[in-house]
Amino acid sequence: MQIERTFIEGCFILKPRIFKDERGYFFESFNRKTFKKLTGLNIDFVQDNQSVSTRGVLRGLHFQTGEYAQAKLVRVTKGSVLDVVVDLRQDSLTYGKHFSLELNDQNNYQLFVPRGFAHGFVVLSNEAIFDYKCDNYYHKDAESGIKYDDSDLAIDWKLKLSELLLSEKDNILPNFKELNK
């Protein structure tokens, strides 16, 4: 496994070594010992989640607050998504900045999202299966988010706004500047 640092401190791209032959392929998707050695982080994932979505579905930008904050390791097992993270750590040099990466079933990349980030994705393929590991349990009362089309963040979702499909809940999230009021 190769781990690449992004410009946002603590956010890593995991690139697996893929072994292919006439039968298909194999790769190790996560190894805690290797992850710790390459990042210095000792993560204990406690919950795995999966979503299935069609083209244009945008989920996000979500995060958990307080003691229920979550670090995530995300990947796509079918299809393609544009994955986006926003740094919410007020003491960070990249506070308010975002990073995006295409995750798909061809590159098999994963993105490690530390605690203190908002996270979302939009489906670029006809269908996508999105998997993620969390280091803390989901807690409904700690759920929060940021509006996907916040002009201050200026995220390019790679699709026309008219193509996007959002939940009612995601459509009424606050803007980034409203988080700390």
| Surface-to-core class of residue 33, CB atoms within 10 Å of its CB (0-12 exposed, 13-18 middle, 19+ buried) | exposed
Strand partners of residue 52:
129
Residue type, 161: L
Q: Which of 62, 98, 109, 148 does the annotation list as catalytic?
A: 62
Active site residue 62: yes
In 3-state terms, what secondary structure has residue 67?
Answer: helix
> Is 116:23 a contact under the CB 8 Å cutoff?
no
Active site residue 25: no
Q: What is the DSSP track for 132-161?
A: EEESS---GGGEEE--TT-TTT----SS-G
Q: Which of 98, 109, 132, 148 does the annotation list as catalytic?
A: 132
Q: Tell me how far apart the alpha carbons of residues 49 and 65 are, in angstroms, rounded to a whole number.
A: 18
Task: Return the active site residues.
Answer: 62, 132
